[in-house]
Structure 1
Amino acid sequence: MDAETWSTQSHHGTAQFEAWRHALSRTHLDWDLRPSRTSEFHADIRERVLDGIRVVECFCDPCEGSRRKPELRHSNEAYFGVLFELSGHEIIRQGDRQAELSAGDFVLWDSEREMDFKVTSRLHKLTLLIPKFRAKRLEWDVERFAGTVVKNSSAVSGISAEALRRLARDFTAIEEKDAEAVMQPILSLLMATLTTRQEPASASVAHRDHFSAFCRFIGNNLEDGRLDPRTVAEAHGVSLRYLHTVFAHNNDTCCNFMRRERLRRCHADLSRPHCRDTITEIAFRWGFNDAAHFSRAFKAEFGIAPKTLRRK
């Protein structure tokens, strides 16, 4: 596929930013965009697919945008994005992480998580959109690096930055037959850099963000008897292995957390003075499917049998 180009030069006045809104959503997924000023807006895009990865080079004036639930719902595919700053300045926020990016810095972001950006000066950037199925097929545990910023401050990150600069310069001239040979070493280099550069504190923040999201999802779906760890992982676009890693990081397991939360909901219902539901009805409502197993688990958790609690 040859490179496609787009520019605001063919538009005038306020139509320029509207055209940019549509162009960015086409090349970088759906975003809710806001201009930083009301005068003319200038932007240029070059885009190409290399070895199944969308490579997008972009110049743009200051603006800001966000991806929230409406934009997330409009996206049919899931990606990991690598955003590399060639020049200019940008502020990125995903989850509880916020980072300021300057020339030579890059960040990994997750298209299935809410995100904000603010371009504060004329920007030149390169974005790689890597399909999630591609990363998982290669057994890259990418989820734990989402939101990680790599600053251009060492020899390791400098090598990655130079590779991305060269890709931005040459990607339109790469022949199709050479695409895999070019992209695979770059992806491996980026993963190696993320692995070596991620600080323990950053890992803890990533785990905390995901752990909170997993727990909220479980709490909102406890009545579904089919809820299991795989369902939770798939709902968040992460691997089952990563889900178990996050719970282990919090000295817990997903299955134990689900069981405890279901038992707590049952305990709350059984403790209500005017609850007319039977013990079995309550147990089944909160995802248990065996009354005897529920009674044993309940007594092991709270030191009292369901019937005894109800009598009290």
Structure 2
Amino acid sequence: MHKSYSTSLIPRAERAGYWREVIDKTYFPLALDFREPDTFNGSLSCWNLEQISISRLETSPTRYRRNARNISKDEDNSPFLITIPQLQPVDFSQDRHKVICNPGSFILERSDLPYEFSYARDNQLWVLRVPDANLRTRVRTPERFLYMEFSLQQGAGALFSDFLGSVIRQVPYLGAQGTGLASQQLLELLALTLEDDDRVIASGEACVSNAHLMRIEHFVRENITNPDLSPELIASACQISTRYMHKLFQGSGQTVSQWIKEVRLQAAMNDIRSGSSNVTLAEVAYKWGFADQAHFCRSFKSRFGCTAREARESAREDL
């Protein structure tokens, strides 16, 4: 689905209010400050893919503030944001951290904490909105990658940037299945870009822990379809003790087994939403490592609030 907004036909006195409504509708409640409200101009295009939404903004200088009162305690699955400035640097601050992101780079941001984001000159930006669960199934602890500027000039970052542009150009010609696959690949390239950065692997006192976590995450992704995947198997493959691996996961809000289950359920949901109706739900369950279909059905309904069959019927109605 593609939506576009512009202030070009809005009376100047009404543009600030109009733009606030556009931002709230596209992202979430934010407080906006305009350097020159009477001459403000803005345009926004938004594409909602299967697992991610992508927007392109072109605006006059603006400051966006996510205040504590803007954040609802009832919000579920608060998204992460990826911001990619095109013309001018952006200043971002959150939780006593500050970072300047220059054109040709991107930053990862949390939306469930107050923050401030601004640029002093006319700017163009890409903004990706990724649900918390969708990112965590590919990157176990995204918080490790906050408050850092990631380059899009070479390697995995360049692939991610190029593929983002290709996805936007081709979205009008993709069906539901193609859109789902494109969003999956885009998220995989994002995860690769984050994890390929040496600063994360060798960051301060946590360098050893981060290196182990990277190996664990890689092994789990490579073996997620194995129904025998277990903490013991993972620890053995990564040459660490099971007890130490459990310690690495402390403070993340999930045990190793819970994380594996979440990865499998998200993968199954993605297949159900974008896959062929010729594939049975049992085949989807077995594909992602669920040896017991009844266990899969119970876990799926507990996680998503609907049965796998209902999710498939809903996906068909959206076609």
Please state how far the C-alpha of 1:161 moved relative to its aligned partner. Answer: 2.2
In 1: Cα distance, 2:74 partner to 2:124 partner: 25
Task: Specify whether residues 29 and 101 from structure 1 end up closer, same or farther in structure 2 by C-alpha distance, changes over 3 A only.
Answer: same
Are 1:160 and 1:190, in contact at CA under 8 Å, matched by a contact in 2? Answer: yes
User: Which position in structure 2 is the counterpart of 1:32?
Assistant: 31
Are 2:45 and 2:56, in contact at CA under 8 Å, matched by a contact in 1? Answer: yes
User: Which position in structure 1 is the counterpart of 2:317?
Assistant: none
**For 2:93, what is the secondary structure of its paired residue?**
strand
Q: Residue type matched to 1:161 in 2?
A: S
User: Which position in structure 2 is the counterpart of 1:152?
Assistant: 152
User: Which position in structure 2 is the counterpart of 1:110?
Assistant: 110
User: Which position in structure 2 is the counterpart of 1:184?
Assistant: 184
**For 2:178, what is the secondary structure of its paired residue?**
helix
**For 1:87, what is the secondary structure of its paired residue?**
coil
Task: Specify whether residues 47 and 35 from structure 1 end up closer, same or farther in structure 2 by C-alpha distance, changes over 3 A only.
Answer: same
User: Which position in structure 1 is the counterpart of 2:92?
Assistant: 92
Give runs of aligned pairs for residues 1-312 of structure 1, distance below 5 A.
Answer: 2-73=1-72, 76-77=75-76, 78-138=78-138, 140-197=140-197, 199-200=199-200, 203=203, 239-240=253-254
* 1:205-262 Cα distance to aligned partner (Å, 9 max, x none): 999xxxxxxxxxxxxxxxxxxxxxxxx96xxxx53359xxxxxxxxxxxxxxxxxxxx
Are 1:145 and 1:206, in contact at CA under 8 Å, matched by a contact in 2? Answer: no
**How much is the aligned-residue C-alpha RMSD, in angstroms?**
3.0
What runs of 5+ residues in structure 1 fail to find an aligned partner? 208-231, 243-312
Task: Specify whether residues 201 and 172 from structure 1 end up closer, same or farther in structure 2 by C-alpha distance, changes over 3 A only.
Answer: same
Instruction: Give the TM-score taking structure 1 as reference length.
Output: 0.60
**For 1:113, what is the secondary structure of its paired residue?**
coil
Are 1:60 and 1:123, in contact at CA under 8 Å, matched by a contact in 2? Answer: yes
Q: Which deviates more from structure 2 when the two are superposed, residues 73-82 or residues 182-191?
A: 73-82
Are 2:51 and 2:184, in contact at CA under 8 Å, matched by a contact in 1? Answer: no
Please state how far the C-alpha of 1:186 moved relative to its aligned partner. Answer: 1.3
* 1:93-127 Cα distance to aligned partner (Å, 9 max, x none): 22233222232211111111221111222222222
In 1: Cα distance, 2:166 partner to 2:45 partner: 15
User: Matched residues, percent identical?
Assistant: 15
Please state how far the C-alpha of 1:33 moved relative to its aligned partner. Answer: 0.7
Superposed structure 1 runs of 4+ greater than 4 Å apart: 200-207
User: Which position in structure 2 is the counterpart of 1:248?
Assistant: none
Kindly tell me the number of residue pairs found equivalent between the two proteins.
214
Are 1:88 and 1:122, in contact at CA under 8 Å, matched by a contact in 2? Answer: yes
Task: Specify whether residues 131 and 200 from structure 1 end up closer, same or farther in structure 2 by C-alpha distance, changes over 3 A only.
Answer: closer
**For 1:64, what is the secondary structure of its paired residue?**
strand
In 2: Cα distance, 1:125 partner to 1:173 partner: 24
Task: Specify whether residues 31 and 241 from structure 1 end up closer, same or farther in structure 2 by C-alpha distance, changes over 3 A only.
Answer: farther
Are 2:51 and 2:183, in contact at CA under 8 Å, matched by a contact in 1? Answer: no
Are 1:48 and 1:172, in contact at CA under 8 Å, matched by a contact in 2? Answer: no
In 2: Cα distance, 1:205 partner to 1:116 partner: 28
Task: Specify whether residues 3 and 151 from structure 1 end up closer, same or farther in structure 2 by C-alpha distance, changes over 3 A only.
Answer: same
User: Rg: which structure is higher?
Assistant: 1
In 1: Cα distance, 2:48 partner to 2:180 partner: 11
Q: Residue type matched to 2:49 in 1?
A: L
User: Which position in structure 2 is the counterpart of 1:303?
Assistant: none
Please state how far the C-alpha of 1:87 moved relative to its aligned partner. Answer: 3.0
Are 1:92 and 1:115, in contact at CA under 8 Å, matched by a contact in 2? Answer: yes
Please state how far the C-alpha of 1:187 moved relative to its aligned partner. Answer: 0.7
Please state how far the C-alpha of 1:203 moved relative to its aligned partner. Answer: 4.9
**For 1:147, what is the secondary structure of its paired residue?**
coil
Q: Residue type matched to 2:85 in 1?
A: E
In 2: Cα distance, 1:32 partner to 1:10 partner: 23
Task: Specify whether residues 136 and 102 from structure 1 end up closer, same or farther in structure 2 by C-alpha distance, changes over 3 A only.
Answer: closer
Q: Residue type matched to 1:175 in 2?
A: G
User: Which position in structure 2 is the counterpart of 1:258?
Assistant: none
